[in-house]
Every structure is written in C-alpha cells, then in structure tokens.
Structure 1
Amino acid sequence: MSDHRPLTPSELESNAQAFARVIERERATDVHAVLARVGSSWIAVPAARVLRVTPAVKPHRIPHRSHHALRGLANIEGEVAIVLNLAALCGFTWSPSGDGAARMVVIGDRGAAWAFEADEVPGTVACNAQDLLAAPLTVAATGAGFTTNLMPIANGHAGLLDVDALLTVCAEAVRS
C-alpha cells in the first residue's frame, strides 16, 4: 500500500519547475507554419516570416521585367508587394484559379514585402522539430533548394519553405 501524504510547498515548487522546464524545452523545438496549397503542392511557410494572408488581388506587370517568376506588383492592404510565381520558382506548374478561396501570402520583412498567390490557406500547423523529415532529393532539387524539410500535416506532408533562400532568388529575379 502506498503512502499518500500531501506534498510540502517546496516539493510542489520543485515539481512545478521541473514540469515547466520540460514544457519549455518541448516548445522551443516546435515548428509553426502557415499552410498553403499552390496547385496540388502543400507549402508550409514558417509563421514568423508571414506578414499577412489576404484575399488574392491581381498583380500589375512590372515594365521591362520579364523573369518567369515575377507576376508583378500588387497593393495588398495599402502596402506594395512584389508578387512572385512560387510554382515557377519551385519548378512545378500552376495557374491562378481566380476563385474566391485564393489568397495572397505576404512574406518577408516590413518594407520589403513579397507575396505569392495560393489556391487555399487553411491555417497554421505545428509540429515538433523531431517530426520533420528530410526533403527527398527529388523534392529538394525540384524546389531549387527552397524546401528544407517535409512537415507532417493531416493529409500527408508539406514542404517547409526556406524563406531566406527564396527571397535571395527573388531579389536577383527583380534585378534581371
């Protein structure tokens, strides 16, 4: 038979601190992302790099810029953003759906906003970093190095986007 005695205040405090450390350690390794579907591909964009998600707007062509990944400029809630064709950058085919479910995902930093159109943005997802899978060579190569890992989602996996690598290529595309 076990001895059921009340815990002392110092034991309660010690146990609470131990559990808090475990929870903090687990949260520190969580990966949070905004989930977006572009064509048949699921993309997970690190949530810290997403400035906003809005209804899709039609971009305006940039004169004298013909890079296949640039769709143009758009006014998104009062901020001008360069709209890119994420599918073209990642090496898969896609065309804007034009339906009411389409969204603009604005990424980057304040003052340097970039956007891409997604067919749907169902919300955010989170997982522990240990649950991320290495991107298969075929995915990493096709995505021009923009997919760092595969993130588990309810209906399979989403490619976790390397926003810094993507924006570096986008900046080069604007200059060309």
Structure 2
Amino acid sequence: MNNCYKLIGIAGDRSCPELPNFIHCRNCPVYSNIGRQLLERTIPENYRHERTELFSQERADAKTLTIAETLTVVIFRLQGEWLALSTQVFKESISPTLIHTLPHRSNQILRGLVNIRGELQLCISLTHLLNLETANTPIATLSPVVYPRMAVVEKAGSVWVFSVDELYGIRRFQQRELRDTPNSMTAATHHFTKGFFYWREKSLGYLDEELLFTTLDRKVYR
C-alpha cells in the first residue's frame, strides 16, 4: 500500500512536489485512494470471530466492574439518623396513608395494615426495629419543606411498608467509599448496617437488607 504521505507528505519530510498544490495530503487523490483501499481490503480469516470475542469480553468485564464497584441506594431519615437502603429492594414511596391496626397484636414493630393500590400490606416501625431514640431537639433537614413519606420495600415476594421522616432520593456510591460502622451508632443500628458512607458531612448508615428482611419475618410472623 502506498504510504507516501508518511515519507514525503505532511507526516514525512514534505518533499512531495504536489504538496504546494494540495496544501495537505488529505486533499490529494493518492491519499484518498489509500483510504479507499483500506476500507475495501479483504477481511482476514477469523476476523469477525476474534472481534466478537474481544468485544463480548470487554462488555462482560465492564458490567462486572460496574456491579462490583457501584452501590445505588435510596437515602432517608428516621429521627436523627440518616440511612441508606439498596435500590434493589426499594419498590416505591407513597404519601402517608391510614394504618389499620390489628387486634390482639401488641408488637411495637408491627403497626398494622396499609392499602397500597387495593392490596393490604404489612406496615412496620423501622424506628422501633432499629431502637432509635425519639429526637427531643429540632432535626436539621436537607430541605426547607419536608414531607413525611412511606417507603415500600420488597425482597423475594416479601413486602413491607414503613414511615420515614424525610426522603432524600437515590444516590450512587463507590464500593471503596463504604467504611466500617462507627461505634457512635446505637447497638441495634450498628447490628443492622453493613457500614457507612460519608455524605454531606453526615454518617450515612448502609442497611443490610438481607438481615433486615430476615429479622422482620422472624419478629412479625412468629
């Protein structure tokens, strides 16, 4: 293949007699012909197979890396504690709704039943489960206007609803940002967290959803 542009052209010593006329090699028909030959060349044997394998591997590696390193969570507040729960179990948030108490049930964790679009779901107090103290002083909120919400979570067909005092929304963290849970957290909260993130100058407890659902099944149904 003619590679005169590398020898006497714009990328070489510029001694080509046609260079003053064309100013740049890309304007020369010889250069255009080189590009045409490159595009029309015969595909080497096994080229398609090799490139398919390469791109498949790169895509799989990128996907594995993203899953392994990125944690996507929903951030909310209970009393004075900011907590995070994986988006994989977070189903939706709704406006506070009427809670129907259940007779002969004195469990502080189980508050009753709520109607979610025609289906009755169990409503629990995550505040009691985590043994969070009621705040006696005003809480610093992220927004000047805070609307309490109810969170609906689901894992393996098990659905729970609980109230939150403030809902921030979705945030992504890197796996390396997860730190060991500080001793300043209550014993119950410490037990239910995988660790914490530094977020907006706060300690954000990352809840262990597997332990959370297992404990709720045990404490509510038994």
Given the two structures, how large is their TM-score scaled by the length of structure 2? 0.63
Amino acid in structure 2 at the alignment position of 1:104 = M
Aligned equivalent of 1:27: 66
Amino acid in structure 1 at the alignment position of 2:89 = R
C-alpha distance in 2, partners of 1:144/1:84? Answer: 19
Aligned equivalent of 1:129: 175
Q: Give the deviation of 1:77 after TM superposition.
A: 2.7
Q: Which runs of 5+ in 2 are unaligned?
A: 1-10, 12-37, 40-50, 136-144
C-alpha distance in 2, partners of 1:154/1:131? Answer: 13
1:76 aligns with 2:122: no
Checking the alignment, whether the CA contact within 8 Å between 1:90 and 1:146 is kept in structure 2 is: yes
Checking the alignment, whether the CA contact within 8 Å between 1:65 and 1:174 is kept in structure 2 is: no
Q: Give the deviation of 1:138 after TM superposition.
A: 4.5
Aligned equivalent of 1:168: 214
Q: Give the deviation of 1:83 after TM superposition.
A: 1.1
Q: Give the deviation of 1:39 after TM superposition.
A: 1.2
1:112 aligns with 2:152: no
* Bigger fraction of residues in strand: 1
Larger radius of gyration: 2
Checking the alignment, whether the CA contact within 8 Å between 2:74 and 2:171 is kept in structure 1 is: yes
Using a 3 Å threshold, how does the CA distance of structure 1 residues 100 and 137 change in structure 2: closer, same or farther?
closer
Using a 3 Å threshold, how does the CA distance of structure 1 residues 68 and 78 change in structure 2: closer, same or farther?
same
C-alpha distance in 2, partners of 1:57/1:93? Answer: 24
Q: Give the deviation of 1:140 after TM superposition.
A: 6.6
Q: CA RMSD in A?
A: 3.0
RCO greater where, 1 or 2, for CA within 8 Å and sep 6 or more?
A: 1
Using a 3 Å threshold, how does the CA distance of structure 1 residues 106 and 148 change in structure 2: closer, same or farther?
same
C-alpha distance in 2, partners of 1:100/1:32? Answer: 23
Instruction: State how 1:83-98 maps to structure 2 within 5 Å.
Output: 83-94=123-134
Equivalent residue pairs, number = 163
Using a 3 Å threshold, how does the CA distance of structure 1 residues 155 and 56 change in structure 2: closer, same or farther?
farther
Given the two structures, how large is their TM-score scaled by the length of structure 1? 0.77
C-alpha distance in 2, partners of 1:61/1:19? Answer: 54
Identical aligned pairs, as a percentage?
Answer: 24
Using a 3 Å threshold, how does the CA distance of structure 1 residues 110 and 100 change in structure 2: closer, same or farther?
farther
C-alpha distance in 2, partners of 1:19/1:171? Answer: 41
1:154 aligns with 2:207: no
Checking the alignment, whether the CA contact within 8 Å between 1:102 and 1:120 is kept in structure 2 is: yes
Structure 1 runs, 4 residues or longer, greater than 6 Å off: 17-22
Q: Which runs of 5+ in 1 are unaligned?
A: none
Q: Give the deviation of 1:47 after TM superposition.
A: 0.5
Using a 3 Å threshold, how does the CA distance of structure 1 residues 144 and 127 change in structure 2: closer, same or farther?
closer
Using a 3 Å threshold, how does the CA distance of structure 1 residues 21 and 153 change in structure 2: closer, same or farther?
farther
C-alpha distance in 1, partners of 2:190/2:100? Answer: 26
C-alpha distance in 2, partners of 1:20/1:109? Answer: 28
Amino acid in structure 2 at the alignment position of 1:86 = L
Aligned equivalent of 2:43: none
Aligned equivalent of 1:43: 83
